[in-house]
């Protein structure tokens, strides 16, 4: 798709400096840009590349000051990085809406599909499931019984959405995610043999949630495992039964949240961190990478370490315990 400089400036609500009729066909990194490219500069440490790039159009912050002659024309915006994200959406052809149901899919007569959905080959939709307007379900997806998927949600290939799961609008479920799998529940009998505890709850995913590739969200023992609006889960995350994650919380890859823990709103959890079961994490909490949270955490707190505690206290303590092997 080709776009003129004028069209991009209007799309980004930016100020154009240069020929409005310049045409670009792709978006690239600033150091790899070619004469048909648009690129961006948001980090000052890359400023020198602005004078070397071959890009036709450079998106910059409004306070960007040129130190010498610059080749690309400029589009000045309030936030160059946010504008870069908007351009990615514009150039991302994979977001084109497709419509139709593959003849190689298996759709139950007892399911309810809107007319404008897309369902790829070798996908199964089980009885009682409802697929809403403009949902995109790619190839090799399994949709269990009584699943409800809200409008404009995208489900990529290999995903398994098991029975009774409710998924909101404008969600993204990436490849090979498993939603509604059996929770990890066992109880030992008097002989020490572990007996399976039936997991009869479900998973509820609210609007505008992103679930990463190979992430697993277990259904509740009773009630619901709940992922609230705006949550973003990275790849290879384990969310156990009866967990509740608050609005707009982001969790990086390879984290594990144990059963019945509650994560507050607007939290940030770094990669390879773990949260023990039956804990309460407050709002606006930051858990730094590779932390092991074993106690409740109050709102507006940053923690790190294993076991995790206040990050400032951890840093002070580290000055001492890193030298323990050198002590006499």
The tens digit of pLDDT for each residue in 210-254 reads 999 999 999 999 999 999 999 999 999 999 999 999 999 999 999
- Dihedral pair phi/psi, residue 171, rounded to 5°: -95, 160
Say which residue, 325 or 222, is predicted with more confidence.
222
Contact present, 278 and 257 (Cβ < 8 Å): no
pLDDT at res. 239: 98
Residue 166 has pLDDT above 90, yes or no: yes
Q: Residue 318 and residue 323: Cα distance in Å, rounded? A: 8
Starting from the edge strand earliest in sequence, which strands make up the sheet with 172-173, in order? 100-101, 118-119, 136-137, 154-155, 172-173, 210-211, 232-233, 250-251, 268-269, 286-287, 302-304, 309-310
The tens digit of pLDDT for each residue in 29-63 reads 999 989 999 999 998 899 999 999 999 999 999 99
pTM: 0.84
Task: Give the side-chain half-sphere CA count within 13 A for 228.
Answer: 14
Q: Residue 120 and residue 286: Cα distance in Å, rounded? A: 39
Q: Residue 238 and residue 168: Cα distance in Å, rounded? A: 20
The tens digit of pLDDT for each residue in 108-131 reads 999 999 989 999 999 999 999 999
Residue 294 has pLDDT above 70, yes or no: yes
- Dihedral pair phi/psi, residue 299, rounded to 5°: -60, 155
The tens digit of pLDDT for each residue in 77-106 reads 999 999 999 999 888 865 567 899 999 999
All domains of the chain in start order, with CATH: 3-95 (3.40.1390.10), 159-315 (2.160.10.10)
Residue 210 CA, chain-centre distance (Å), reads: 4
With CA atoms as reference, report the closest residue to 94 among 175, 6, 197, 34: 175
Of 138, 241, 278, 320, catalytic: 241
Active site residue 241: yes
């Amino acid at each position: 798709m080709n776009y003129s400089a004028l069209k991009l400036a209007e799309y980004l609500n930016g100020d154009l400096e240069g020929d409005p009729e310049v045409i670009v066909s792709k978006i690239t990194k600033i150091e790899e840009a070619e004469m048909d490219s648009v690129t961006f500069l948001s980090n000052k440490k890359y400023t020198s590349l602005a004078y070397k790039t071959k890009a036709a159009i450079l998106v910059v912050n409004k306070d960007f000051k040129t130190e010498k002659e610059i080749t690309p024309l400029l589009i000045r915006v309030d936030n160059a990085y946010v504008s870069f994200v908007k351009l990615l959406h514009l150039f991302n052809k994979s977001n084109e809406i497709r419509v139709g149901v593959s003849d190689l899919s298996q759709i139950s007569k007892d399911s309810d599909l809107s007319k404008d959905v897309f369902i790829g080959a070798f996908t199964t939709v089980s009885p009682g499931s409802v697929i809403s307007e403009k949902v995109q379900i790619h190839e090799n997806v399994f949709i269990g019984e009584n699943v409800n998927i809200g409008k404009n949600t995208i489900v990529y290939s290999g995903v398994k959405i098991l029975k009774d799961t409710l998924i909101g609008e404008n969600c993204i479920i990436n490849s090979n995610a498993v939603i509604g799998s059996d929770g990890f529940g066992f109880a030992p009998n008097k002989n020490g043999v572990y007996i399976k505890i039936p997991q009869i709850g479900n998973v509820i995913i609210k609007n505008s949630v992103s679930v990463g590739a190979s992430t697993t969200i277990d259904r509740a023992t009773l009630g619901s495992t709940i992922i609230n609006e705006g949550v973003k889960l990275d790849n290879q995350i384990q969310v156990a039964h009866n967990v509740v994650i608050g609005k707009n919380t982001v969790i990086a890859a390879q984290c594990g949240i144990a059963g019945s823990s509650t994560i507050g709103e607007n939290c940030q959890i770094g990669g390879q961190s773990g949260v023990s079961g039956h804990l309460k994490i407050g709002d606006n909490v930051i858990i730094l990478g590779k932390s092991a949270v074993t106690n409740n955490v109050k709102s507006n707190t940053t923690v790190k370490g294993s076991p995790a505690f206040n990050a400032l206290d951890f840093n002070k303590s580290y000055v001492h315990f890193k030298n323990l092997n050198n002590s006499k």
